[in-house]
Chains A and B, each alone.
Chain A
Amino acid sequence: MFVPCGDSVPDLAGCTLLMPAVSVGNVGQLAIDLIISTLNMCKIGYFYTDCLVPMVGNNPYATAEENSTELSINAEVYASPSKKLVALQLRSIFIKYKSKSFCEKLLSWVKRSNCAKVVVLSSSHSYHRNDLQLRSTPFRYLLTPPMQKSVQNKIQSLNWEEMEKSPCIPEIDDSEFCVRIPGGGITKKLYDEGCSKEIPMVILLKFVSEGDNIPDALGLVEYLNEWLQIIKPCCDDPSASALPWKMPSSWRLLFGSGLPPALF
Chain B
Amino acid sequence: MAATFFGEVVRAPCRAGTEDEEEEEEEGRRETPEDEEVRHQLARKREVRLLGRQTKTTLEVSLLEKYPCSKFIIAIGNNAVAFLSSFIMNSGVWEEVGCAKLWNEWCRTVDTTHLSPTEAFCVFYHLKSNPSVFGSCPRKNMQVTILTCRHVTDYKTSESTSSLHTPFLKALKTQNFREPPCCSLLEQPNIVHDLPAAVLSYCQVWKISAILYLCYTDVMKLDLITVEAFKPVLSSRSLRSLVKNIPQSTEILKKLMTTNEIQSNIYT
Q: Which A residues contact B (CB, under 8 angstroms)?
A: 3, 22-26, 46, 48, 53-60, 62, 68-71, 73-74, 92-94, 96-97, 99-100, 127, 182-186, 210, 249-254, 256-262
Query: A261 touching B18 by the CB < 8 A rule?
Result: no
Query: A259 touching B173 by the CB < 8 A rule?
Result: no
A187 CB, nearest partner CB in chain B, Å: 9
Flag whether B192 is at the interface (Cβ < 8 A). Answer: yes
Flag whether B14 is at the interface (Cβ < 8 A). Answer: yes
**Residues of A contacting B196 in the complex (Cβ-Cβ under 8 angstroms):** 56
Query: B16 touching A56 by the CB < 8 A rule?
Result: no
In chain B, residues 14-34, which have Cβ atoms closer than 8 Å to a Cβ of chain A? 14-18, 20-22, 24
B120 CB, nearest partner CB in chain A, Å: 22
The secondary structure that dominates the A interface is: loop
Q: Which B residues contact A (CB, under 8 angstroms)?
A: 1, 12, 14-18, 20-22, 24, 155-163, 172-175, 185-198, 200-201, 204-206, 212
Query: A56 touching B204 by the CB < 8 A rule?
Result: yes
Query: B161 touching A26 by the CB < 8 A rule?
Result: no
Query: A70 touching B16 by the CB < 8 A rule?
Result: no
Query: A26 touching B15 by the CB < 8 A rule?
Result: yes
Question: Which listed residue, A53, A58, A185, A257, touches B188 by the CB 8 Å rule?
Answer: A58
Query: A99 touching B205 by the CB < 8 A rule?
Result: no
Query: A69 touching B21 by the CB < 8 A rule?
Result: no
Bound: A58/B192 CA distance, A = 10
Query: B201 touching A97 by the CB < 8 A rule?
Result: no
Bound: A57/B187 CA distance, A = 8
Bound: A25/B200 CA distance, A = 28
Query: B189 touching A60 by the CB < 8 A rule?
Result: yes
Query: B189 touching A252 by the CB < 8 A rule?
Result: yes
B4 CB, nearest partner CB in chain A, Å: 14
Query: B15 touching A94 by the CB < 8 A rule?
Result: no
Bound: A39/B35 CA distance, A = 48
Question: Which listed residue, A25, A46, A94, touches B17 by the CB 8 Å rule?
Answer: A94
**Residues of B contacting A250 in the complex (Cβ-Cβ under 8 angstroms):** 188-189
Query: B174 touching A183 by the CB < 8 A rule?
Result: no
Question: Which listed residue, B1, B16, B156, B194, touches A54 by the CB 8 Å rule?
Answer: B194
Question: Which listed residue, B16, B155, B185, B206, touches A185 by the CB 8 Å rule?
Answer: B16
Query: A260 touching B172 by the CB < 8 A rule?
Result: no
Bound: A261/B163 CA distance, A = 10
